[in-house]
């Protein structure tokens, strides 16, 4: 069988429970729901890290965080690493293209330099609509200059304060248009292709969606946030008090509802654009020969547990993401896989589909095979936060915070540490999916807790055995900082 085309669609900061395919009833996602119905939906996909850069470095190298050593949002992937796209191009003759966000290194690094192992023939990069607009790699800005110069000027002038981007000038529309153009030319090209359509939405600040799509979200249907507990670990309480977006406690309920509505409207809009792309794939006669992968890099708390966005708190709204695969004839339509998938498994999946080995990422699993079995080969999924995000100072946390989580198909255990203090949480995700009751220390769960702690211990041992960090770090100066506060 010849190597398939691969269309990978990524969103940014989208939690799993925002698709109809996962039971969401308040956000319209008909196109992604149809994609799930025609392929496999993975019910327990866990990211390797809950912050963009480390998570994406895992997705594109196929390695856990300790192996690629990108620990924080400001770290840069070593030039010695090769993204799986580089192997597809070099070893399997794929024609490769990027439209949108990569972010396997810090934004300060990526706006000036491409990673030498990125492997893309076509590289139209854009981190987010109003950041690094003068970068020579920014395809979205170039498109705006040609099609909507007045909006480009407004975006450059106002940055994230430019709200409700119109449908015709939106970054998601640009990425979809460029992907559709690429698909239109792909059949004549004759080579198998890998195309990455990588969107910024539904990432904060939550108000860049077209106003027409906010009308599709009924405010009365928006679920209330999961309330905070009284026994959160100290690391979580620090995140609650000093989030880079602000304190949830300082926002009125109607403001939180507005944030959730904006987030949902962005998802409804990106679903519409993805529908256009999937229709173009059909029209080009390529759908039967194309593996489609849809996923996000991490989730968003959206006020749950009195938390915004993502960070040290390894609760399901942050670490659990949607993962859908469609490959006609190879993946059974309507499959539901409860296997312990991880973000880094996308690398082995794409390499295996192309007929390549996963020797460059041995701890990454082939999701097509996992879907057929219904289970993963790993006995636990691990997510590791290594002082990865930023506080309300706009800089990395000081003192640093660490968290390591291991989960099986029902239970999860998280170990938090800072300044020598260690605290533990355990949740039964079947009986308590909102993680409202910490059962760590419950004698009835002692053997399961010990087994998951052993998984954490094995991960920590492996991490400690790694060579010294091979990465550099690019901290933004005052002029380069993005104002994260959403007020």
**H or E segment to which residue 47 belongs:** none
Quick one: which of 83, 118, 280 has its CA closest to 185? 280
The structure tokens 């969606």 sit at: 209
Q: What are phi and psi of 467, to 5 degrees?
A: -65, 165
Q: Which residue has the higher pLDDT, 167 or 189?
A: 167
Q: Is the pLDDT of residue 133 over 90?
A: yes
**How does the average pLDDT of the chain come out, rounded?**
96
Helix runs in 354-416, H state only:
367-373
Question: pLDDT band at residue 467, thresholds of 50, 70 and 90?
Answer: confident
| pLDDT tens per residue across span 50-83 | 999 999 999 999 999 999 999 999 999 999 999 9
Neighbours of 477 (CB within 10 A): 8
Question: pLDDT band at residue 179, thresholds of 50, 70 and 90?
Answer: very high
The 3-state DSSP class for residue 231 equals coil
Q: Is the pLDDT of residue 302 over 70?
A: yes
Strand partners, 342: 46
Contact predicate 203/106, CB 8 Å:
no
Could you give the CA distance from residue 271 to residue 265 in angstroms, rounded to a whole number? 10
Q: Which domains does the chain have, with CATH numbers?
A: 5-480 (3.40.720.10)
Helix runs in 81-138, H state only:
84-92, 107-110
The structure tokens 């790694």 sit at: 466
pLDDT score for 218: 97
Give the strand pairing for 335-337 and 40-42.
Answer: parallel
**Two tokens at 134?**
């003068």
Q: Is the pLDDT of residue 468 over 70?
A: no
Contact predicate 104/56, CB 8 Å:
yes
Helix runs in 38-148, H state only:
52-61, 65-68, 84-92, 107-110, 139-147
Could you give the CA distance from residue 382 to residue 242 in angstroms, rounded to a whole number? 26
| Mean pLDDT of the 156-162 span | 96
What percentage of the chain has pLDDT greater than the value 70? 99
pLDDT score for 242: 97
For the chain, how far is it from start to end, CA to CA, in angstroms? 54
pLDDT score for 482: 75
What percentage of the chain has pLDDT greater than the value 90? 94
The 3-state DSSP class for residue 283 equals helix
| pLDDT tens per residue across span 198-249 | 999 999 999 999 999 999 999 999 999 999 999 999 999 999 999 999 999 9
Question: pLDDT band at residue 486, thresholds of 50, 70 and 90?
Answer: confident
CA angle 128, 132, 135 (to 5 degrees): 120
Q: By 3-state DSSP, what share of the chain in percent is helix, strand and coil, each rounded to 5?
A: 40, 15, 45
How many Å separate Cα 240 from the centre of its chain?
A: 22
């Amino acid at each position: 069988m010849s190597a398939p085309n691969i269309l990978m669609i990524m969103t940014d900061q989208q939690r799993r429970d925002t698709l109809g395919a996962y039971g969401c009833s308040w956000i319209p996602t008909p196109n992604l729901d149809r994609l799930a119905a025609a392929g496999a939906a993975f019910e327990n996909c866990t990211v390797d890290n809950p912050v963009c850069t480390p998570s994406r470095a895992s997705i594109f190298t196929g390695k856990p965080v300790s192996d690629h050593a990108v620990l924080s949002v400001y770290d840069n992937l070593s030039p010695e690493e090769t993204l799986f796209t580089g192997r597809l191009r070099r070893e399997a003759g794929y024609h490769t293209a990027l439209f949108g966000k990569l972010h396997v290194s810090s934004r300060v690094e990526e706006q000036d330099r491409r990673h030498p192992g990125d492997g893309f023939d076509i590289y139209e990069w854009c981190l987010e609509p109003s950041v690094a607009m003068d970068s020579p790699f920014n395809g979205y800005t170039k498109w705006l200059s040609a099609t909507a110069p007045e909006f480009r000027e407004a975006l450059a002038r106002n940055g994230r304060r430019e709200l409700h981007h119109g449908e015709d000038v939106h970054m998601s529309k640009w990425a979809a248009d460029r992907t559709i153009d690429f698909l239109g030319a792909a059949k004549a090209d004759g080579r198998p292709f890998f195309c990455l359509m990588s969107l910024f939405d539904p990432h904060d600040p939550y108000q860049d969606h077209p106003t027409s799509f906010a009308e599709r979200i009924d405010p009365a249907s928006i679920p209330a946030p999961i309330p905070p507990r009284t026994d959160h670990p100290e690391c979580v309480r620090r995140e609650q008090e000093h989030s880079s977006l602000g304190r949830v406690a300082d926002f009125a309920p109607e403001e939180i509802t507005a944030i959730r509505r904006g987030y949902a409207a962005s998802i409804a809009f990106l679903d519409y654009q993805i529908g256009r792309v999937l229709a173009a794939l059909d029209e080009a006669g390529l759908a039967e020969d194309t593996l489609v992968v849809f996923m996000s890099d991490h989730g968003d708390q959206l006020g749950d547990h009195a938390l915004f966005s993502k960070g040290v708190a390894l609760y399901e709204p942050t670490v659990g993401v949607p993962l859908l695969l469609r490959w006609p004839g190879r993946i059974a339509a309507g499959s539901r896989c409860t296997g312990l998938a991880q973000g880094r498994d996308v690398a082995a999946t794409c390499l295996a589909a192309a007929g390549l080995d996963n020797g460059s990422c041995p701890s990454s699993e082939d999701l097509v095979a996992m879907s057929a079995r219904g289970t993963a080969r790993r006995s636990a999924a691990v997510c590791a936060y290594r002082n990865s995000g930023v506080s309300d100072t706009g800089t990395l946390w000081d003192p640093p915070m660490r968290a390591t989580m291991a989960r099986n198909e029902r239970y999860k255990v998280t170990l938090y540490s800072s300044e020598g203090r260690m605290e533990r949480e355990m949740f039964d995700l079947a009986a308590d999916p909102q993680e409202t009751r910490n059962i760590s220390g419950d004698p009835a769960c002692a053997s399961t807790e010990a087994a998951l702690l052993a998984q954490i211990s094995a991960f920590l041992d492996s991490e400690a055995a790694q060579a010294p960090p091979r990465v550099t770090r690019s901290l933004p100066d005052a002029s380069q900082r993005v104002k994260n506060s959403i007020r």
